[in-house]
Every structure is written in structure tokens, then in C-alpha cells.
Structure 1
Amino acid sequence: MAAVDHNAEEKQVDAAHHSDKSDTGDISHREDIHEETTHEAAERGRAATDRYGHSLVHFDPVAEAKLRWKIDLYVVPTVALLYLFCFIDRANIGNAKISGFETDLNLEGYDYNKVLSIFYISYIIFEIPSNMACKWIGPGWFIPAISLGFGISSLGTAFVHNIHSACGVRFILGVFEAGMMPGIAYYLSRWYRRSELAFRLSLYIVMAPLAGAFGGLLASGILKLPNFGGLHTWRMIFAIEGIITCGLSILAFFTLTDRPATAKWLTQEEKDLAIARVKAERVGTTVVLDKLDKPKFLRGIFSPVTIITAFIFLLNNITVQGLAFFAPTIVKTIYPNNSVISQQLHTVPPYVVGGFFTVLFPFLSWKTDRRNIFFIISAPLMMIGYIMFLASKDQMARYGATFLIASGAFAFGALCNAQVSANVVSDTARSSAIGTNVMFGNIGGLISTWSFLPFDSPDYHIGNGLNLATASTTLLLSICLLFWMKMNNNQREKKDIDTELAGLSEKQVQDLDWRHPAFRWKP
């Protein structure tokens, strides 16, 4: 690691500090600060900010925009396609349910709910370890490998014949899928600035509602086939979709670039810019990709913003996963006399509308560099939808409610992961924070498997009431979190940064992470 000239840096930052201690603007206009080149800022062992969190680098917005567009084209499509089939392979059991899955496996009572639950047990257990493995191995290898694993697991589901084998395959599916959502979120955080991240996350998370739409179309198309080899009806859904996933995973081994420094499609100047612009937002950081470090690992998990946001994501996932697993069943109760294929197709439009809002809210988040406010906007949409379910028996009103719920629910995946990523500093803390967020979210997924129970059919008062309560709690928590972040930032403004950091080594300063006195929460 290259040595850092601490004395020179002290002179630079002291000059800035004494000239205007409260100024947090663009320091590139200060004549008494040395402005680094992007190459200098990208080098290992050099900080891209001063001790007050001010960037030491001025970036050309035109060059940044060109680089960002290039990254969008090379990085996002591959992970988006993989996540599409990740969600399809998880949720296609909902399509299989109304196509004979329960009957052929002799499932009774709560057996279907048990099959759903076993997936989340392994998912939750392996969530944080998977994201640590993703950092250690590298996303470029790890993400395609687990994608191949859950593709094979989905294919294996086509050959189950009882609840025991179904539960076994679903457990293995959860092991492989555990690292997918947090792994991609962590991977994209290597490439994008804080303000840009939510929108880029939405470009792959939008595949969740689109998987509901596309999954319904694909399932209805597959069911029109007489057979696939020796497989019939619902077994063809798992087999064909599993094979597609395996094919995409093998391609991803060749197309997924691990990090900017190894991107053959970037020039050296573009690599330096990609590294420097991410580094310039991380106070006290001398390397973008630090080694696994216990203090920073724990900082990511136990950040107040991580914990509250993760609990919000838990509540939200009760709704999102409930829709994924039970939307076909709910549509069946609204249109009981329609054909199975018609019922499958009726699940498509709400997901399409939900997909639009999944991209819209994070896009606005990118332009405003705000995330928490969109939690507050989204929650009432879900609340109104579930009130309509509980208050009306009219077919059109209940079907319309599914559109409102999907519009509010699906954007949380991108927004929550972007929020926990924006509110830590180091790469290690970012990895553990995202893993914690998604782990909590999938505890919500586990709860969702028991939210719509057979005895509660066809109106599902318990399931709809539970989701109304979670949406209402989400609204209250989001408002409280926003006020707390602003209040704590005001308290941090009163701290003397020089006094707080006096006597600390470079390692100790970096291990402070979000406890660094110059750090500010980003709502």
C-alpha cells in the first residue's frame, strides 16, 4: 500500500477548515486545497476526501455521464436477466399451485404453506454468509455460480413426487438464491455513486414484478404444450424455466465483469474515473475495495439506519412475497369461473403497473438523492389497496386493489438496499448492511407464506388485515426514521472533528465508518 503524506494532508485540510469550517460545498474552487487527478484518487493508499468529508477531486460531468452510460450498458442487463429468472424460479410455484401441483403431490391443509416456508429458512440462514462470500470470491464468479445452482434446483422441482422431496428441493433453492438480491446490490455499489444507486438497483429489482407478469405469460404458454419430454402440466413450468436459467448463468460467467479495475471494456482513464468517483463519497477511505474487516463488518449490521430500514423491508416483503405466491390464488377467488389460463393472464396487468412504479420512484430518488421520502409516498398506496380488499366484495374493486398494492410495494427493494448502502462508508460495511437488509426482508417472506391460509378463503380477512397493518407500520417507521436522521445530523454538526479524530491511526479512523464525525446520514 502506498504511503500517505499525512503532514501535507494536514496542511491542506487545516487551511480549508480554518478558512471556512462550515463550508461543505465543492472544494474544487478553493485555491488552498490540492486538487487530485482521478488517477491519484484511484490509487491505493490515497484518500479521495479530506478529514471533513470534502472531495479532493473535481469530476468532469460530461466524462461522468459518458462513463455512467457505458457502465449501464455493460453491467445492468446481465444482472437484470439473472434476477428475472431468479424470481421466476422462486415464484413459479404459485403458477404451479393452480395447475395441479397440490393435487399431484397430495398436499392437504397447510402443506403448501410448509413447502413455501422451507425455502425461506435456508434463505435467511445463508443471507449474510452469502454476501460475505460474494465479497471474498468476487461477484463476477459468485453471482453466475449461484444462478446456475438455483437453475438446477428449479429443474429438479419438476421431478418431485411428494411433500418431502418438494421441501428438500425448495430448501436447496433457498441456499442458492440467498446471495442473489444482496449480491447484485453489493455488486452495483462497486460501480455507482450514492445518488445513482437506487435507480440502477430498480433496473434489476423491477424484474420481480415483471417476473410476476412474464411468469404468468410463460406459465400459460407452457401449459398449452402437450408435454415436455415425459413431463406434463406444472412439471413443464419448472423444467423449462430451470433450463433457461442454467443457460443464462453459463453465459454470465463470460459477460459479468467483477469490478472497474478488471473491466476490459474500460480504458485506463475510465477505470480511474470509475474508482475515484465512488471513493470520493467515502470519508476517510483510502481503498474502495477493502479487505474483510470485523469492526467494519459489524458497523454495517448495527448501523441504526440499517436496522430500521431492514425492519421496514421485512414488513414490505410480507406484501411483495405474498403477492408472488398468492396472486394467482387471489385472482382465482375474484374470477372463480374463468379458465386456469385466463386466471394466469389476469395476474399480469397488476405486475406491469407495479413494475412501472418500481422504476419511477428510484428514478426520482436518483434525481433528488433522496430515498426515505419515497417510503412515505409508497406506503399509503398499499394501505388503500388493502382497505379496498377488506371493505368491498365487488370483483372490479378487488382486482383494482391489486394494482394499487403492486404500485406501492415493489419499489422498496431498490430503495431499501440503496438506503442502507448510502448510510455506511466502507465496502465491507456496505456488504454486511445489504446482507442484513435482505435477510430481514426474507424473514418477512417467511411470514408471508402463512399470511393467506386455506380456512381464510375466499376473502382472506386475516391476510389482508395483516398487510394493512404492515403498510401502516411502514409509514410510521419511515416518518420517524426521517426525523431521526435529520436530528442526528444536526447533533453531528456541533462536533469538533479535529478533537474527535485526534490521536487515532488511519486504521482506527477507517474503522469508525458511519461513526466518523464528518459522516452525515443521507435520507
Structure 2
Amino acid sequence: MSRSFYSERLLAPLTVPYRQPAPDPWSHAEKRLRRKIDLYTVPCVLILYLFCFIDRTNIGKQCATGQPRGRPLEGNDFNMILTVFYVSYALFEIPATLLCKIMGPGWFIPFTTLLFGVATVGTAFVQTKGQMIACRFLLGIFEAGILPGIAYYLSRWYRRAELTFRIGMYMVMASLAGAFGGLLASGILSLDRFGSLKAWRMIFGIEGVITIGLALNCLAALTDRPETARWLTEDEKTLAVERVKSERLVQDEVLDKMNRTKLKNGILNPITISTAFIFLLSNIVVLGISFFLPTIIRTIYLDWPRVQQQLLTVPPYIVASFCFLTVSWMATYYNTRQIFLFFSGPLMMVGYAMLLGITNANARYAAIFLTASCAFFAGSLSNAQVSANTVSDTAHGIAIGTNSFSGYLGGLIPTWTYLPWDGPMYPIGNGLNLAISITSLVFLWWMKWDNNRRDAKSISERQSELAGISQEQIGNLEWKHPDFRWKP
């Protein structure tokens, strides 16, 4: 990886008195180590998250071909099936994150992938709507820990400044799953049968079996932490630990002991709360697009054949994926995330305005590209942001879990609300995007103000704040530590 990939300030020397000296990020040894970590950790989580989303969204194929007994879904049946997934997903997001911390992500991620693969296979055999709802509820439980679990897993390997692009690389699988999942489903439906399964049941059966196979493979391939990596030399293990440890304030170990104080400080961290709020709002837009994009396109190209309308849903996902990775790379390059969150809101508002004020079909279709491209990257930026502004391993995990929990609460809203429904003025969509920008700007200003306030304190004042406090209590301070600085 060339030095030009990063800005000069990306991995600049630490400006606050950390306990351990930071390794030189531009040394040949660390660049070689970074390439190794990229090779052995990222591809595995990419493919797992891809099939996580494919298994989650394949319900649309079943909806298109009818109820388990051959009847079409009636009334709010589809909305109910969508909703029950997000209810269980949101309820178990934080408990799953805590379990990931206890088990270790190298064990937890393959294990929970195995379980949601089994739930997907089970869906192929349902006979009633109630059984379908039960399978979707279980799928939500088993998938709840994947998003925060992978982000937490990567935080064990990478510096905070390196995380944004890596998180973006696996989260882009969510948008690519729309295109790849459709192609996979088309190939599966060309088969006559898969065992005793036919038609839409083959989609659940085959995709579930693939997921189970990937989980078993990653159980052997996914390394839990640097100290246990068989593909690292002893010197590389030491360097991998030290470069993460150098960004901790007072801890001697990268993997700290979980306690209630660290959990509370991770959840109540001001940046965790504000970023989770932004993720909730942006996810309403993202999942509204994901659920109803075919319907939106049908309103634009009313006279086009249904097959061509379906094909038009693919390009916005492709462009959104490209923008997703580009923004994640830029956030890594400049080592900042908040400003990109700020600009996403106005650009999405422009997309809504184009849908409102333009009658030309092609221009309205272009507006979908703009809205989708800006909406999708909030997920990677928000998880990287909460990770960059927490200190301990425990706080990383619970903050990412809280952020993901909030985001998927937003998933409940578009299952019952069709955002283009609030036209022609789109007050809901524009209000959400305006709130994203205002929240981002306010907390960008607050982080800079609070950093200046902390910098203004003398060394003696900082030391006096720690006087009479035990080492364990100092380790629990997290963002309240006088030497902590926010990273916008």
C-alpha cells in the first residue's frame, strides 16, 4: 500500500500522552503487516456480509411468487413479514454485541452465520404464513450481531483512522446484494428442482446451504485476534497488538475486562448518541429505497415492460456502491467522517427536489441515483465514527452495537411508510435529511469546541483531575479522561 493512499495527517503522531509509544505507520514492517491483515481478514467478512443481506432480502422473491400454499400475499402480510424481522433484529442487536465480546468475534461471527443459514433453509419448508413469520423472527435474532460484530472485529486489527474504508468495503455488500442476489435467484429458478424443493423454495434452500458452507469455512479461517493468528510471525503479532494499543489511553491490554461503567460510557458517549440518531434517520431513506425501488421506477416508466422496469433497479445500486467506496476512501484519506455525514443530507434533498419539480422521466430516474448514492454511505461512516471516538475494546463493541440498534429501528419505519407517498412536497424525506445535516454540523462544532477546551487546560490541571483515582477507575473514564480528544 503506497504512502499516497493516505494523507500526511491520517496516521500522524499522537498529540496526547498515550501510555504506549505509537509504532511508525509508514515503516516497511507495518505496511507489510497491514497488507497481510487486509488479505486474511477482509475477504472473509465481505462474503459473509454479502450472504447475510442476500438471505435477508430474498423474501421479495417469495412475495413475487405467492404464499407458501400458493395464495398471493394479502393486505399487510408482506409488511408484517418485513416488520417482524426488524423487531427481533433491533431487540437483539445489543445483546448480540455483548455476546460477541464474550465469545470473541472470530467464533461468534461464523457461529451466528451458521444459525441464520439454518433459518434460511428452514424458510424453504414453511407451509403457513405464521411459520414464515416465525422463521423471519429467528433470522432477525441470528443476523442481529453481524453488522456490529464485523465492525468490532475489524477494530481489533486496525487503527481508528484505517477503519472507515475497511468498514465501507464490507458494508458495500449490502447494496451489491441487490444486484448479485437477483442474478443468483434467476439462476436458481432456472433449475427444475433442488431435492424436494421447487420454485421459490429453491432460493431459500440453496442460498441457505451456501451460507452454512461459508460459515463452516470461516470457522476455521477467521482469526479471533492478532495474538492467535497463525499467519503472523511473532514480531508481526507484537506489532499488530502495539499499534492498536498505542491508541488506548491507559490500558496495558488490548482486550479489556468488560464492566458496567465502560458499557455505560460507551452507550452515553455524546458522539455515539448523535451518530446513532443520524444513522436512524439515514436508514429510513436507505431501507425505503431498498424495499420500494421497483415501485418508484414503475411510477416513472409506467408504459415500460415489467422486465425492463426490474432491470432499471440494478444501475442505482451499482452507482451507489461506487460512491459508497469512494466516500469511505476519502474519509480515510482525510481522517474525518463528520463533514461527509453533513453533506449527505443536502444532496439527498436535491434528489427529492428533482423528483418533485421535474416531469422528465429520465431526469427523475437520475434523481434516484443521487438520493441512493448519498444515503448508503452513512452506515460505514457512522460505525467508523463511534469506533474512532471510543477508547476501550468494550466501549468499541457497545458503541457500535448501539449505533446499529438505532439504525435498524429506522428499518421499522419504511416497512409501513412509503416515502414517495408524502409527495408532492416530500416533507418527511426532506425533514429527515435536514435533521441529518443539522445534527452533523452541531456535533462537528461541539467536538472542535470541546477539544479546544481540553487543550486549554494545563498539565497540572489534567493531573489534578486524576488525583486520588485508582488505575482501574482511570481506565473506566473513557471519553471523560482529560487526555482524550474527539476525532471528527
TM-score in same-fold range (> 0.5) = yes
Q: Quick one: which of 387, 406, 424 aligns to 1:421?
A: 387
Letter in 1 for 2:45: V
1:173 alignment partner, SS class = helix
Q: Measure, in 2, the Cα distance between the counterparts of 1:193 and 1:158.
A: 42
Q: What is residue 439 of structure 2 aligned with on the other side?
A: 477
Map Cα deviations across residues 98-124 of structure 1 (whole Å, 9 max, x no partner).
344599454222221111110011111
Deviates more, 1:219-228 or 1:321-330: 219-228
Map Cα deviations across residues 194-247 of structure 1 (whole Å, 9 max, x no partner).
110010001100101111121222233333444444444433322222222111
Q: Measure, in 2, the Cα distance between the counterparts of 1:500 and 1:212.
A: 52
Contact 2:19 2:251 in 1 (8 A): no
Q: Report the CA distance between 1:141 and its aligned residue.
A: 1.1
Instruction: Tell me if 1:286 matches 2:255.
Output: no
Q: What is residue 4 of structure 2 aligned with on the other side?
A: none
Q: Measure, in 1, the Cα distance between the counterparts of 2:25 and 2:320.
A: 36
Q: What is residue 6 of structure 2 aligned with on the other side?
A: none
Q: Measure, in 2, the Cα distance between the counterparts of 1:410 and 1:277.
A: 30
Q: Which runs of 5+ in 1 are unaligned?
A: 1-24, 28-48
Instruction: Tell me if 1:448 matches 2:434.
Output: no
Deviates more, 1:211-220 or 1:119-128: 211-220
Instruction: Tell me if 1:56 matches 2:21.
Output: yes
Q: What is residue 176 of structure 1 aligned with on the other side?
A: 142
Map Cα deviations across residues 18-53 of structure 1 (whole Å, 9 max, x no partner).
xxxxxxx848xxxxxxxxxxxxxxxxxxxxx9x833
Q: Report the CA distance between 1:465 and its aligned residue.
A: 4.6
Q: What is residue 217 of structure 2 aligned with on the other side?
A: 251
Q: Quick one: which of 310, 317, 322 aligns to 2:288?
A: 322
Letter in 1 for 2:141: V
Q: Which has the larger radius of gyration?
A: 1
Q: What is residue 348 of structure 1 aligned with on the other side?
A: 314
Q: Measure, in 2, the Cα distance between the counterparts of 1:221 and 1:466.
A: 39
Instruction: Tell me if 1:521 matches 2:486.
Output: yes
Instruction: Tell me if 1:210 matches 2:176.
Output: yes
Structure 2 counterparts to residues 221-232 of structure 1, below 5 A: 221-232=187-198
Letter in 2 for 1:413: G
Structure 2 counterparts to residues 300-319 of structure 1, below 5 A: 300-319=266-285
Contact 1:500 1:517 in 2 (8 A): yes
Instruction: Tell me if 1:145 matches 2:111.
Output: yes
Deviates more, 1:319-328 or 1:177-186: 319-328
Instruction: Tell me if 1:509 matches 2:474.
Output: yes
Q: Report the CA distance between 1:448 and its aligned residue.
A: 1.9
User: Kindly tell me: are residues 144 and 460 of structure 1, through their superposed partners in 2, closer, same or farther at Cα, counting changes over 3 Å?
Assistant: same
1:159 alignment partner, SS class = coil
Q: Measure, in 2, the Cα distance between the counterparts of 1:149 and 1:338.
A: 41
Letter in 1 for 2:475: Q
Instruction: Tell me if 1:297 matches 2:263.
Output: yes
Q: Which runs of 5+ in 2 are unaligned?
A: 1-11
Q: Report the CA distance between 1:494 and its aligned residue.
A: 2.5
Contact 1:381 1:407 in 2 (8 A): no
User: Kindly tell me: are residues 142 and 296 of structure 1, through their superposed partners in 2, closer, same or farther at Cα, counting changes over 3 Å?
Assistant: same
Instruction: Tell me if 1:273 matches 2:235.
Output: no
Q: Report the CA distance between 1:393 and its aligned residue.
A: 4.7
User: Kindly tell me: are residues 217 and 469 of structure 1, through their superposed partners in 2, closer, same or farther at Cα, counting changes over 3 Å?
Assistant: farther
Q: What is residue 456 of structure 2 aligned with on the other side?
A: 494
Contact 2:23 2:242 in 1 (8 A): no
What TM-score do the two structures reach when normalised by structure 2? Answer: 0.91
Q: Report the CA distance between 1:339 and its aligned residue.
A: 5.0
Q: Measure, in 1, the Cα distance between the counterparts of 2:308 and 2:195.
A: 25
Contact 1:452 1:462 in 2 (8 A): no
User: Kindly tell me: are residues 154 and 517 of structure 1, through their superposed partners in 2, closer, same or farther at Cα, counting changes over 3 Å?
Assistant: same
How many matched pairs?
Answer: 473
Letter in 1 for 2:44: T
Q: Measure, in 1, the Cα distance between the counterparts of 2:131 and 2:396.
A: 37
What TM-score do the two structures reach when normalised by structure 1? Answer: 0.85
User: Kindly tell me: are residues 292 and 515 of structure 1, through their superposed partners in 2, closer, same or farther at Cα, counting changes over 3 Å?
Assistant: same
User: Kindly tell me: are residues 462 and 260 of structure 1, through their superposed partners in 2, closer, same or farther at Cα, counting changes over 3 Å?
Assistant: farther
Identity %: 52
Q: Report the CA distance between 1:54 and its aligned residue.
A: 7.0
Map Cα deviations across residues 129-156 of structure 1 (whole Å, 9 max, x no partner).
1011001001111101111111121222
Q: Measure, in 2, the Cα distance between the counterparts of 1:359 and 1:336.
A: 33
Letter in 2 for 1:107: L
Q: Report the CA distance between 1:173 and its aligned residue.
A: 0.4
